[in-house]
Structure 1
Amino acid sequence: MQDRGTIVVIDDEANIAELVAMYLDRDGFRVVTAATGVDGLGAVQQHRPRLVVLDVGLPDLDGLEVCRRIRAHSGVPVIFLTARDGEIDRVLGLELGGDDYVTKPFSPAELVARVKAVLRRADGTAPVDVLQVGGVAVDAGRREIRIAGEVVAFTTKEFDLLQFLAERPGLALSRQQLLDGVWGYDWFGDPRTVDVHIAQVRKKVGDAVAITTVRGVGYRLDP
């Protein structure tokens, strides 16, 4: 079977972690599990996974804090596991750049499908040229964003969103167009994630380029 790379699963419920690991292993992934936030951070640093499955409700560190610490040094895709609707609001509202979330209880097969969908989008073939829009350079080949010549760290989804907008400067795009183009037609989730990621991208690009809210439509990138 093809080796699909390593996934770190951080969840203190052993039965859930073992079930998820079993399904991912069947699909060709190597799986490293951790029951605490501290151990999970160590696993991410040691194994350099392709993706992290992260429970929001951990016993030591809050899962959102774990994500913040991961994001400080890595753009690895993160799928959140949430137990309550209120946690979904926290995930979306704190602009942490999660690539997807799954609400417990969930089907392990559905989680595996989402893992593969996120990885397909993260690993998608992209043109090798550099797209310059305003003061922002989008290097699709290296998957880097440079602002005023300096590389700025973007998560996988933030990069994809900015690239999608930069390829269509001056064009007003609806939230649904952004969801379809960036998250994919097979994405399940809250459309508010577009607004969350737009806010995060705006913070990072600053004045280098303008992302304008188009009332009643969505967003437009203005060089």
Structure 2
Amino acid sequence: MRVLLVEDDLRLAAALATHLRRGGYEVTHARTAADGVRLAADADFVLLDLGLPDADGLKALERVRRGSDVPLIVVTARAGDVLKGLHRGADDYLVKPVRPDELLARMRAVVRRSARPARVRRAVAGDVVVDLAARRVTVAGRDVPLTRREFDVLAVLAARPGEVCARDEILLALWGDTSLSASRALNVHVRNIRSKTGRNGLIVTLVGTGYRLGDDPS
């Protein structure tokens, strides 16, 4: 598999490229958004940093998605931009510092999902529909008003249906830290989502691990 690594940090790029090659991947490295967009057409997989020297990585992501459905993971230190990346078509994300083993596992998971007939644009769990693009949640056809952050929590899970999202991963993506105050806020938002939707099983808690979207929330 040909992997395009778009990363301007040469030391990090070299380390990731070495690990990817050991995993059996062929790696092409680009340092700029312009080169990344140009080379994406020939790649089987794209790893895209958002902090690039010539253009914002989110703009590069939009340009790639205009002409390609190539599996793509955003790799960024900008935790606050994770949801923006997902909304613009990224298949998954990793917040720096990156653990190489986790990166390879995420890539394999994205490839499995990409083999399905359609890319996830909305998630359905029983009578609950989470529309990621429209930022809309309905239960049995009825709109459920969630706050911005409540929807953000649900969107992280809905973007990866059937997969477990680690608690710290959600905290880093939405709050940028794993502090006690952020952890308590996450607890409150999960509780509010269950209450407002009336579906306690919509978010499944895996004690000591994290959360996943429920298959049958009723």
Q: Distance in 2 between matches of 1:181 and 1:62?
A: 23
TM-score (norm 1): 0.58
- Tell me how far 1:39 sits from its aligned partner: 0.8
- Tell me how far 1:7 sits from its aligned partner: 1.1
Match of residue 215, structure 1, among 190, 197, 202: 197
Gaps of 5+ in 2: 131-152, 174-195, 203-218
Deviation string, structure 1 residues 12-49 (Cα, Å, up to 9, x no partner): 0011111111111111111111000111111112x2x2
Match of residue 172, structure 1, among 128, 132, 135: 128
Match of residue 82, structure 1, among 69, 76, 86: 76
Q: 1:88 to 1:180 in 2, by over 3 A?
A: closer
- Tell me how far 1:181 sits from its aligned partner: 9.6
* 1:27-66 pair list within 5 angstroms: 27-45=23-41, 47=42, 49-66=43-60
Larger mean CA deviation between 97-106 and 56-65 belongs to 97-106
Q: Distance in 2 between matches of 1:86 and 1:118?
A: 22
Q: Distance in 1 between matches of 2:92 and 2:129?
A: 21
- Tell me how far 1:91 sits from its aligned partner: 2.9
Letter in 1 for 2:60: V
- Alignment match, 1:116: 108
Percent identity among equivalent residues? 34
Q: Distance in 1 between matches of 2:66 and 2:159?
A: 27
1:184 paired to 2:162 = yes
Deviation string, structure 1 residues 58-103 (Cα, Å, up to 9, x no partner): 00011000000001111112111111333335435xx202111111
Match of residue 17, structure 1, among 13, 18, 24: 13
Q: 1:186 to 1:37 in 2, by over 3 A?
A: same
Q: 1:190 to 1:51 in 2, by over 3 A?
A: farther
TM-score (norm 2): 0.59
- Alignment match, 2:22: 26
Q: 1:216 to 1:76 in 2, by over 3 A?
A: farther
- Tell me how far 1:171 sits from its aligned partner: 2.8
SS in structure 2 of the partner of residue 18 of structure 1: helix
Q: Distance in 1 between matches of 2:54 and 2:198?
A: 43
- Alignment match, 1:106: 98
Letter in 2 for 1:96: R
Gaps of 5+ in 1: 125-139, 144-155, 194-213, 219-223
Contact map agreement 1:117 1:186 (CA 8 A) in 2: no
Q: Distance in 1 between matches of 2:85 and 2:160?
A: 19
SS in structure 1 of the partner of residue 120 of structure 2: helix
Tell me the matched-pair count: 153
For the aligned residue pairs, the C-alpha RMSD in angstroms reads 3.2
Letter in 2 for 1:112: L
Contact map agreement 2:74 2:92 (CA 8 A) in 1: yes
Letter in 2 for 1:58: L
- Tell me how far 1:56 sits from its aligned partner: 0.5
